[in-house]
Structure 1
Amino acid sequence: MSESNIAVVIPCYKVKTSIEKVISDIPSVVRRIYCIDDCCPDKSGDFIEEKITDPRVKVLRNNVNLGVGGAVMHGYRAAHDDGYHIAVKIDGDGQMDPLLLPAFVRPILNGEADYTKGNRFYNLRYLESMPAKRLIGNAALSFISKISTGYWHLFDPTNGYTALHLSLLDLLPFDKISKRYFFESDLLFRLNIARACVKDVPMKAVYGDEESHLKINQILLPFLKGHLKNVAKRFFYSYILRDFQVASLNFILGFILFFFGIIFGSIEWLQSIETGEPATAGTVSLAVLPIFIGVQLVLSAINNDILNVPRAPLHPTLEDETLPPQ
């Protein structure tokens, strides 16, 4: 594979003030730049076609607003159909430095990863410019994402600076992947189900005066709901349907014992309050021991899950079968 097979995907929604500089900074190694006008009220697509003369730019349009995920997947499909092997997703708001692109592409070119994503937490110096609210929110989401996606070694799951080997598109159910702000986290979950190898790339984000379209109060519950659903689906796919193993039993028995101890102990505690009689040592033991054993079994299963992170890239064996020759 040569570096000439690299394309960039830029979802465009209210980015007229920044898109020109973003495109001008994209390295010459990139041969195609897909700008997706996601039914933008500012007509970003028309603006790009009128103002930007870079011959690499191709404007795509969504007839309805699909969200960042819908725009990115539109770009992925176009890049795949046009014969490109790697698609790098960069936002059009100027928060991502296009000059970092080689760092995202290199692990894929070297056969070390199928998908790379930015990590703004890798170096403490990178956190100086991050607003405190984003810092706390991303840290919390990162921990939840580790559980739902199975990529325990990753951080900053909502980071939108990514690169994907396009041979994996045939393994991803595009019609089921979230098209809104949960896109990055949901895509990681789908990549884990496909057993794709994912790697973090250290980066520094830029925060300027641009207006954020992400409202925490609007996405908090959908994010929690999405992660909970993915936890259940990943457990079923990975530990029941695909491979029933000791870790599967540890998860099941661990949760049964844990909740039995909680429920039984709560019932006995309430009865003790009503009757005024303290619980016997045997009753206390019957409540506490299942909790302790259950926690130990679940921790053992989680340790197995951490060791089970996909580490072998898929694309070296997929690209000859799924990508057209150039």
Structure 2
Amino acid sequence: MIHSSKIAVVIPSYKVKAHILGVLQNIGEEVDVIYVVDDCCPDQSGEFVKANCTDPRVNVIVCPVNQGVGGAVMTGYEAAIADGVDIIVKVDGDGQMDPALIPDFVLPIANGEADYTKGNRFFDLEEIRQMPKMRLFGNATLSFMTKLSSGYWDLFDPTNGFTAIHANVASHLPMKKISQRYFFETDMLFRLNILRAVVIDVPMDAKYDDEVSNLKISKVVGEFLVKHIRNMSKRVFYNYYLRDMSLASIELPVGVLLVLAGTLFGVSHWIGALSSGIQTTPGTVMLSALPIIVGTQFILAFLGQDIASVPRRVLHLHKKKKLLGQGVKP
């Protein structure tokens, strides 16, 4: 199936001059075209590739202004879609990602098992021992926040940038709205869930050499938290109130209201007891605790339904069948 698909690789290039040629040399013959997106790199990596790489598959795109990794990848996506490719793989130019794994990312899409694949460095517990402890903790924290905001509860390692996507799905992404900088990978998952695309993890090893990561997780956790809350609110509204309604649409607001009511009732009586010196009665305590307990159960029931509603129907196959049914060549 891989050989029947036209495969492109997009490499956002910014301060990776020391590694970019090695990455290009290791990309296998299964790839038909390569887009090196020079994101206004101060090292002029695009010109460096033009001068030193003779691979005819390589196309260099130079961005006039720095867009960030997300903007560079979207630029590569647009070029690949315009050239009629089937599957687009995104590989970083810093040498952290092994191009030999590209078939592992492409195969589930080519076989109709997924719309989007992403790397996961947490499958092999022995391999992740080499990951810095702070980065390990940061990724675990970001992974939990991403599960809440994206709705993909079965995924991990959200900041992993080794990905592949079907061009049909990529063409439906709101490319101008996707975060252009470090929140790009997690924002992509939110956008894919809104499309109801099937996303799966691909096991890969953690690899750390002499590259320098521009992402400092400790500095972006606060920013990411705000964006995750925003995306979670949008996703819940889109999926449970705008697009469709289900029992979960009732469970969430009822649960939140009960927890808030019980908390406010309990706090107000606790403050009153402190000021008057009169001990709160057991009945008052129960009147506060009961709605909190019941409300928590409603919220957990909503989460259970949300976890069960992870997209399972491959989007690009559905669209292809729809086009064929209309007599249109996909």
Same fold (TM over 0.5): yes
Distance in 1 (alpha carbons) for counterparts of 2:167 and 2:223: 28
- Name the structure 2 match of 1:100: 101
Unaligned runs of 5+ in 2: none
- Name the structure 1 match of 2:81: 80
**Aligned in 2, Cα 1:319/1:92: closer, same or farther, shift over 3 Å?**
farther
**C-alpha displacement at 1:128, in angstroms?**
2.0
Residues 138, 218 of structure 2: 8 Å contact kept: no
**C-alpha displacement at 1:125, in angstroms?**
2.0
- Name the structure 1 match of 2:58: 57
Q: Which structure 2 residues correspond to residues 1-326 of structure 1 after superposition, within 5 A?
A: 3=3, 4-319=5-320, 321=323
Q: TM-score, normalised by structure 2?
A: 0.95
Distance in 1 (alpha carbons) for counterparts of 2:172 and 2:303: 26
Q: TM-score, normalised by structure 1?
A: 0.96
Deviates more, 1:208-217 or 1:129-138: 208-217
Distance in 1 (alpha carbons) for counterparts of 2:302 and 2:318: 30
**C-alpha displacement at 1:2, in angstroms?**
5.2
**C-alpha displacement at 1:174, in angstroms?**
1.2
**Aligned in 2, Cα 1:76/1:319: closer, same or farther, shift over 3 Å?**
farther
Distance in 1 (alpha carbons) for counterparts of 2:318 and 2:311: 15
The code of the aligned residue for 1:12 comes to S
The code of the aligned residue for 1:167 comes to N
Distance in 2 (alpha carbons) for counterparts of 1:287 and 1:173: 45
The code of the aligned residue for 2:64 comes to N
Distance in 2 (alpha carbons) for counterparts of 1:318 and 1:244: 24
- Number of aligned residue pairs: give it: 325
The code of the aligned residue for 1:178 comes to S
Distance in 1 (alpha carbons) for counterparts of 2:83 and 2:171: 15
Local SS of the residue matching 1:160: coil
Deviates more, 1:220-229 or 1:159-168: 220-229
**C-alpha displacement at 1:267, in angstroms?**
1.2
Q: Deviations over 1:96-121 (max 9, x none)?
A: 01001111001001100000000001
Distance in 2 (alpha carbons) for counterparts of 1:126 and 1:86: 29
**C-alpha displacement at 1:205, in angstroms?**
2.3
Local SS of the residue matching 1:128: helix
- Taking only the aligned residue pairs, the percentage that are identical comes to 54
Distance in 2 (alpha carbons) for counterparts of 1:317 and 1:291: 43
Local SS of the residue matching 2:210: coil
Residues 168, 318 of structure 1: 8 Å contact kept: no
Local SS of the residue matching 1:155: coil
Unaligned runs of 5+ in 1: none
Distance in 2 (alpha carbons) for counterparts of 1:171 and 1:133: 36
Distance in 2 (alpha carbons) for counterparts of 1:161 and 1:210: 16
Distance in 1 (alpha carbons) for counterparts of 2:105 and 2:119: 8
Tell me the C-alpha RMSD between the 2 structures: 1.6
Distance in 2 (alpha carbons) for counterparts of 1:124 and 1:22: 26
